[in-house]
Amino acid sequence: MLVAALVTGLLLQPQAHRAEAAPTTFAHPGVTVSRAQLDFARSKVDAGAQPWKGAFDQMTASKYADLNRTPKPRATVECGSYSNPNYGCTDEREDAIAAYTDALAWYITRDDRYAKKSIQLMDAWSAVIKEHTNSNAPLQTGWAGSSWPKAAEIIKYTYTGSWANSGRFATMLRDVYLPKVIGGSNSNGNWELSMMEAAVGISVFLEDRTSYDKAMAKFRTRTAAYVYLASDGDLPKTVPSQNLDTRDKIVNYWQGQSTFVTGLTQETCRDLTHTGYGISAISHVAETSRIQGQDLYGTDVGERLRQALGFQSKYQLGTAVPGWLCGGSLTLGLGPVTEVGYNALHNRLGIAMTNTQALTEQNRPAGSNNLFVAWETLTHGDNPS
C-alpha cells in the first residue's frame, strides 16, 4: 500500500518544467515504439512465445500485410463529416497502416519484401498527395499522419536497403501534413489529441524541435481538458481558445454530463469509441515522449491516462452504468487502445490497474481500429524495454 501511495503521489506531482521540451538529440526509431521494444517483440516471436506470436500471426494474416497490396494515392483527399464524402479517406488511412504493418513485419522477419512494400506505399503517396479538404480534413490528416512516421522511422533507421525517396517523403510530411495538424482544433477533444499525435510523430521524423515543442504544449493543455481529475476542482479544465467560460457551456461540451468524477472524459457520454481515440492518442504521445527522454507518465498526463483507462475499462467490461452517468446509458466500443498505457503504467511503474488489466488481457491480441491504432499487443504487450 505504501509503494502504491508513493507512486500515486509521484504521478500527481506538478508538471516538470522541461517535460514538454524537445530532446537535444532525437532517438530513432522513436515514434510510439523504440528499437529496444522492437527487439523484445522480435525475440518473443522467434521463441514462439505468447501473446506475441499470436499477435504477429494476426498481423501478418491481415490485409495490411498483403505483399500484393496496390497503393491508391490521390492528389486531394476529401473527407466530409464521418468521411462522407470519402474520396481517398479510407485508402489513405489504410495505406498508412499498411506501411507501418510492413515495417513491423520487416523488423520481425528481416524479409526484404516487407521493407520494400512499406517503401512502395510511402513513395506512392509522397509522389502524389497535395492536400486534404472538407470538414474532416484536420482529423483525417491526424489519423494518417500518425501512422506514416511510425512506418518511416522503422524503415529509415533499421533497413539497410535503399529508400531513395525518403527526402520526398519528409517533404510530404512537412508541407502537406504538419501544417494541417499543428494548429490544433476546437472540436471534440479526440480531434486535437490525434492531431497532436501526428504532429509529435512527424516532428520526431523531421527532427523539428520547434514543432515538437508546439505540439507537446498543445497536447498537455488538451489532455488536462479531456480527462477529469477531482484535483481539477468543481469543473473540468478547459482549452482557453474554446471560451468555455460558464458551467453551462462546459456541461454542454461534456455531452450534457453535469456530475464530474475522476476518470471521466469529455466524450465518455458521446460513446466509448471516440473516447478510445482520445485515450489512444494520449498514450501514444506519452510513449513517444518517453522514448525521446521526457517521461510524461510521471506527470499529470500519466495520472489522467491511468484514470481514464480504468474508468472506461470498468464499463466496457460490463459494470452497470449508474443513473448519474450519461443518463444511465453508455455506448460501448472502447477499441484496441489499452496496451500502451497499461504496459507503461502497470508493468513499468508497478501501478495496480485491475479493470484495465482484465480488459487488456481479454482483448489480446489487440488488432487495428482501421484508423490509426495497430498491433499493440505485438509492440507493447508486457514489454519491459
Using an 8 Å Cβ cutoff, are 217 and 20 in contact?
A: yes
What is d(CA 359, CA 120) in angstroms, rounded to the nearest whole number? 36
Rg (CA), the chain: 20
Tell me if 10 is assigned to some domain: no
Domain count within the chain? 1
Tell me if 163 is assigned to some domain: yes
Question: How confident is the model over 87-116, as pLDDT tens digits?
Answer: 999 999 999 999 999 999 999 999 999 999
State the pLDDT confidence band at 21, using cuts at 50, 70 and 90: confident
pTM equals 0.95
Q: Residue 10's pLDDT is what?
A: 40
State the pLDDT confidence band at 272, using cuts at 50, 70 and 90: very high
State the pLDDT confidence band at 20, using cuts at 50, 70 and 90: low
Helix (H) or strand (E) holding 253: helix 247-253
Average pLDDT of the residues in 356-369: 98
Distance of CA 376 to the CA centre of its chain: 10
Tell me if 1 is assigned to some domain: no
Average pLDDT of the residues in 126-150: 98
Q: Residue 4's pLDDT is what?
A: 41
Cell of 27: 532517438
Of all residues in the chain, what percent carry a pLDDT higher than 70? 95
Using an 8 Å Cβ cutoff, are 145 and 173 in contact?
A: yes
Tell me if 190 is assigned to some domain: yes
Burial of 18 per CB tally in 10 Å (0-12, 13-18, 19+): exposed
What is d(CA 143, CA 100) in angstroms, rounded to the nearest whole number? 13
Average pLDDT of the residues in 156-185: 98
**Residue type at 277 in one-letter notation:** Y
Helix axes 209-226, 272-291, angle to 10 degrees: 140
Average pLDDT of the residues in 320-327: 98
Q: What is the DSSP letter of 335?
A: -
Place of cell 508538471: 15
> Which is nearest to 180 in space by CA: 218, 145, 225, 213?
145
Q: Could you count the other beta carbons within 10 Å of the beta carbon of residue 173?
A: 22
Tell me if 29 is assigned to some domain: no
Average pLDDT of the residues in 157-177: 98
Q: Could you count the other beta carbons within 10 Å of the beta carbon of residue 250?
A: 20
Task: Indicate if the pLDDT at residue 8 is higher than 90.
Answer: no
Place of cell 499493440: 376
Cβ within 8 Å of residue 314, ≥6 positions away: 355
Task: Indicate if the pLDDT at residue 14 is higher than 60.
Answer: no
Q: Which CATH number is 107's domain given? A: 1.50.10.100
State the pLDDT confidence band at 222, using cuts at 50, 70 and 90: very high
Tell me if 220 is assigned to some domain: yes
Task: Indicate if the pLDDT at residue 11 is higher than 70.
Answer: no
Dihedral angle of Cα 371, 339, 301, 249, to the nearest 10 degrees: 50
State the pLDDT confidence band at 317, using cuts at 50, 70 and 90: very high
Q: Could you count the other beta carbons within 10 Å of the beta carbon of residue 247?
A: 11
Average pLDDT of the residues in 296-314: 98
What is d(CA 103, CA 379) in angstroms, rounded to the nearest whole number? 12
Q: By residue range, what is the domain housing residue 204? A: 36-380
- For residue 368, report the phi and psi dihedrals to the nearest 5 degrees: -120, 150
State the pLDDT confidence band at 12, using cuts at 50, 70 and 90: very low
Relative to beta strand 76-79, strand 131-133 is: parallel
What is d(CA 347, CA 381) in angstroms, rounded to the nearest whole number? 9
Tell me if 306 is assigned to some domain: yes
Task: Indicate if the pLDDT at residue 6 is higher than 50.
Answer: no
Tell me if 289 is assigned to some domain: yes
State the pLDDT confidence band at 142, using cuts at 50, 70 and 90: very high
Average pLDDT of the residues in 15-33: 80
Q: Residue 15's pLDDT is what?
A: 39
